[in-house]
Amino acid sequence: MQDPNADTEWNDILRRKGILPPKEKPEEEEEDEQLHQPQSVVKTYESMTLEELDENEDEFSDEDELAMEMYRQKRIAEWKANQIKNAFGELNEISGQDYVKEVNEAGAGIWVVLHLYKPGIPLCTLINQHLSYLAHKFPQTKFIKSISTTCIPNYPDRNLPTLFIYYEGEMKAQFIGPLVFGGMNLKCDELEWRLSETGAVKTDLEENPRKQVQDQMMTSIRCSAPSRRNGDEDSDED
């Protein structure tokens, strides 16, 4: 039987007429051709940054252009969303003149936590420390502070510390005075839970940390309560 891959004039005629299939190429030749074939940019552009996309724009083939442009728009949208999500990250000081801009005009979808304080009040200092940590933990929320009388003239010191919680410029919650915060025993995770209840932050805490303290206190009280002796109970019955 004649070899269909043999280099004969008769086989060439049969191949041209479609009677014989094209001559099979040796495996080494196929591998060599694959190595030298230009790779489509479509296979690599998804790993590029926006800057790399711009730098390599001339290398895109016509059929890659549409897919590349769609991917570019997707990356730009992701970048903008990430910028908005992580726009803050610090506890910043504002004055009364900044109030409207920083609070009422904070923008759509923005939560604002405003701390009115005064230097020299220990609980205010403690809350500022906690808020600095929380501002870093929740960069999508705007944390700001202002000296009380600078922000609101004649604001009474007895109301300090004060937290005002805003969403899209509208007040949603307020915490006024030292008793609300539980004094100098206030822990950062307790304040985080309080803020999460207003919606200002999305905490990963599963339950109120203060509840654990209260449960421990109740357990301690029960354990320390004096037990009545049998003799005392008998005398009461008499």
Q: Could you tell me the two tokens for 118?
A: 């005064």
Global pTM exceeds 0.75:
no
Mean pLDDT of 25-46: 53
* Mean pLDDT in residue range 128-151: 95
Strands 162-167 and 142-147: unpaired
Q: What is the mean pLDDT of residues 4-9?
A: 68
For the chain, the average pLDDT equals: 77
Residue 197: pLDDT band with limits 50, 70, 90: very high
pLDDT score of 217: 41
**Which range in 106-110, 183-187, 215-219 is most confidently predicted, on average pLDDT?**
183-187
pLDDT of the residue at 32: 59
Q: Looking at residues 172-185, what average pLDDT do you find?
A: 94
- 131 neighbors 183 (Cβ within 8 angstroms): no
Q: Is the pLDDT of residue 233 over 90?
A: no
Please state, in angstroms and rounded to a whole number, the distance separating the CA atoms of residues 184 and 199. 24
Buried b (16+ CB within 10 A) or exposed e, 20-59: beeeeeeeeeeeeeeeeeeeebbeebeebeeeebeeeeee
- Burial grade of 62 (CB within 10 A; 0-12, 13-18, 19 or more): exposed
Q: For the ranges 39-43, 144-148, 158-162, which has the lowest average pLDDT?
A: 39-43
What does the pLDDT read at residue 12?
72
Tell whether the model's pLDDT for residue 119 goes beyond 80: yes
Query: DSSP code of 104?
Result: I
The average pLDDT across 90-111 equals 91
Q: Give the residue with greater pLDDT, 152 vs 47.
A: 152
For residue 136, the SS3 value is helix
% of the chain residues with pLDDT over 70: 58
Q: What is the mean pLDDT of residues 114-118?
A: 97
**What is the pLDDT averaged over residues 192-211?**
92
Q: State yes or no: pLDDT of 129 exceeds 80.
A: yes
What's the mean pLDDT in 124-139?
96
By mean pLDDT, which of 80-89, 111-120, 178-187, 218-227 is the weakest? 218-227
